[in-house]
With several copies, the nearest count.
Chain A
Amino acid sequence: MPDSQPDSSHSDSNLSQNEPKIPLRVEFSGGLELLFSNQRSHRITLPSTVPHGDGTTKPTDITYLIDWLRRNLLKERAELFTDGATVRPGILVLVNDSDWELEGEGDYQLRPGDEIVFISTLHGG
C-alpha cells in the first residue's frame, strides 16, 4: 500500500475491525486551530502499523500522524502547518506535555491514549 494512496484510506472509518488501533487526542493552539476547522481538540484513531516504503510497514509514529493530519483534517493552507515531512518551523509539538525533541521527534511511536499538541508561538502583549 503506497503512501500516495487516496487520503480516506487511512482514516478512522476504514480500519478493519480486527486491526489493532491507536486512539489519540490531538490538540491545536496558538492560532493553528484556525487551519483545522477552528476546532482545538480532535479525537482520532490510527492503525498501529502503517506502510513504509516498498511494501514494508512501520509502527505508527508522529511523522505519519503529521502527514495524516495534513491529508485528512487540515482544511486550508498546508504550507502553514507542514514543511516537507515535518511541521513548519515555529510550531512546537508536544507528546503528553513534553517537547517532542525529548521523545524522539517524528520517530516517536504513538501509543493508545497519547495526547499530541501542536502549538504556534504567540506574539501579542
Chain B
Amino acid sequence: MEPAKLKLEDYRRYGRQMILPGLGLPGQSKLLNASVVVVGAGGLGCPALQYLAASGVGRIGIVDHDIVELSNLQRQVLHLEENIGKSKVFSAAEAIKKLNSTCRVDTHVCAIEAANAISVLSTYDVILDCSDNPPTRYLLSDTAVKLGKPLVSGAAQMFDGQLCTYNLDMGPDLGRGPCYRCLFPQPPAPELAGSCEETGIFGAVTGVVGTLQAMEAVKIIVGMRDPGPSMLLYSAMELSPFRNIKLRSRKRDCPACGIQGGRISDLDYVTFCGGPRPNWEERGL
C-alpha cells in the first residue's frame, strides 16, 4: 500500500467514498492497488464490472467467449445495441473504460477451462463467478482453492438469486471458509439446473446480485468483510425478499479444500455435471 500514489484527481473522483468511516485513504489505496477478475460478462458480470470500475479497482479482468446477442440486452446492461455480434469482453471493456479510464482492463476472450483456469486467474486478488453453468462453477471453486483466493459467487434464475463468498480467508486462527464443493459435493440434477434460456431470468435480479458481488469484492479488498461463512438468498417476488443464511465451516473431507484436498486435478467438469447442455439458441429460443 502506497497511499502517496493517489493523484489529486483521485481525491476528487473518490472523495464521496473516501470520507466513509472504515474506508478512507487506506481503503481507497487498497482498491487502486487491487485486481479483480470477472468470469462472465453477462447478467451478473455487467453490473459487477460497472461498480468495480466506478469504485476504483486498479485492474479488472474480464473473461468470456460469447458474443453479444439481442436476447442478452434485457439484463446485460453494459452491452449496447450497436455491439450486437461483437465480443462481450470487448463490449464490456469499452463500456467500463468510458466510466473510468484510469482502471486497467485486461481482456480474456476465451472460455474458462481446466486447461487455462490457473493461468488466466492466478494474477488477480479476487475472483468473481458471474458464470451461468455448473461445470464452470465447480472449476472456478477448485481453482480458487488451488490459488488460495476468495471466490465471490453469484447466481440467478427466474426471480431468484444467490450470493456466497467461498474460500474466504477468515484470519490466522480460522483458516479459510468453505468452498463451493463443501456445500455442494455433487452437482444438482441436470433437470433442476436449467439455463437462463430455459427457465428465464429477470434483468433486475441479475442486477441486484451482480451489484452485491461488486460490494462483496470491495469489502474483502478493504478488509471490512465479516469473515463468517454466509449465503444471501434473494427472491424478488417475496414480500420479504432477502434471507441471510449462516453456513457450515470448511469440510475436512472435502475433495477440493479438505485435509486430503487436491484430488480433483484431472476431472472432466462437463461430464461430472451430467454432460453438455443443449444449445437452446440453436433450437430457436
Contact = CB atoms under 8 A, between A and B. Distances in A.
B243 interface: yes
Contacts of B206: 125
7 contacts: A31-B192, A99-B245, A102-B248, A121-B184, A123-B132, A123-B133, A125-B43
A124 B195 contact: yes
B63 interface: no
Nearest to A30: B160
A92 interface: yes
Given A123-B188, A124-B196, 18 more contacts: A30-B157, A30-B160, A31-B192, A40-B238, A90-B187, A92-B231, A98-B245, A99-B247, A102-B247, A120-B188, A121-B184, A123-B133, A123-B193, A124-B157, A125-B45, A125-B131, A125-B154, A125-B206
A27 to B, nearest CB: 9
Interface string A25-37: 0000111101000
Contacts of B133: 123
Contacts of A89: 184-186
A121 B162 contact: yes
Interface residues of B, number: 45
Given A29-B235, A32-B192, A122-B160, A92 B244 contact: no
Contacts of A119: 162, 233
A40 B233 CA distance: 14
Nearest to A98: B246
B73 to A, nearest CB: 15
Given A97-B244, A122-B156, A124-B132, A31 B162 contact: no
Interface of A: 29-32, 34, 38, 40, 77, 79-80, 88-92, 94, 97-99, 101-102, 117, 119-125
A102 B246 contact: yes
A122 B248 contact: no
B174 interface: no
Contacts of A101: 248
A95 to B, nearest CB: 10
Contacts of A121: 155, 162, 183-184, 188
B176 interface: no
* Interface-central residue, A91, A98, A120, A125, by most chain B CB under 10 Å: A125
* Interface-central residue, A88, A99, A123, by most chain B CB under 10 Å: A123
B132 A92 contact: no
Interface in B14-45: 21, 40, 42-45
Given A101-B248, A121-B162, A125-B45, A80 B192 contact: yes
A123 B183 contact: no
Contacts of B193: 31, 123
B281 interface: no
Given A30-B157, A97-B244, A125 B188 contact: no
Contacts of B185: 89
Contacts of A38: 21
A92 B245 CA distance: 11
Contacts of B137: 123
B9 to A, nearest CB: 23
A68 to B, nearest CB: 21
A123 B134 contact: yes
Contacts of A123: 132-134, 137, 155, 157, 188, 193, 195
